[in-house]
């Protein structure tokens, strides 16, 4: 039994190491860090990062308050714009995942669903990084 636990722990450590060495994972993590600092400079209060509902349906990169409005933020990071701008990757399928996860968060926090907003932070990892905020990037159905 103990050997099974050791193998599981080893697999978890190796998986974490694989993520750290993956350049896409590192770029995404750097983008989220840049977006977090950017939003704070813009006056947002970030209250959660990488929120995933228990159902596992979707993940929200950043959740923040801007004044009295709850904002769900999707961060998209690219090294270059060779294959399109980062914000273009938030298609209707991705929006659906975001809305499901956001509904779970809003329900748990008793937030007014009619007052939430979905933003996108687009980051190009140039020197210096190019960061653009798209407020109210898309609108979800207003019923909860």
pLDDT of residue 12: 59
- The closest of 118, 136, 126 to 74, measured between CA atoms, is 118
- The closest of 115, 110, 113, 122 to 73, measured between CA atoms, is 122
Position 144 in a domain: no
Position 143 in a domain: no
pLDDT of residue 2: 47
Query: For residue 30, what is the domain's CATH number?
Result: 3.40.1350.10
Q: What is the average pLDDT value for the chain, to the nearest integer?
A: 85
Position 126 in a domain: yes
pLDDT at 22 over 70: no
pLDDT tens column, 53-62: 988 778 999 9
Displacement of CA 111 from its chain's centroid (Å): 19
Q: 60: domain range?
A: 2-138
CB atoms within 10 A of CB 118: 21
pLDDT of residue 95: 93
Position 22 in a domain: yes
Position 7 in a domain: yes
Rounded CA-CA distance 10/26 in Å is 22
Domains in the chain, number: 1
């Amino acid at each position: 039994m103990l050997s099974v636990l050791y193998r599981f722990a080893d697999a978890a450590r190796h998986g974490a190491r694989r993520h750290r060495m993956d350049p896409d994972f590192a770029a995404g993590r750097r983008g989220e860090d840049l977006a977090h600092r950017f939003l704070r400079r813009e006056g947002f209060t970030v209250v959660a990062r990488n929120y995933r509902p228990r159902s596992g349906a979707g993940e929200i990169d950043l959740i923040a308050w801007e004044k009295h409005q709850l904002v769900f933020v999707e961060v998209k990071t690219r090294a270059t714009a060779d294959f399109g701008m980062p914000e273009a990757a938030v298609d209707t399928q991705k929006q659906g995942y975001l809305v499901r996860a956001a509904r779970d968060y809003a329900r748990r926090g008793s937030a007014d669903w009619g007052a939430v907003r979905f933003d996108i932070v687009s980051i190009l990892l140039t020197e210096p990084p190019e960061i653009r905020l798209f407020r109210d990037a898309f609108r979800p159905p207003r019923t909860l």
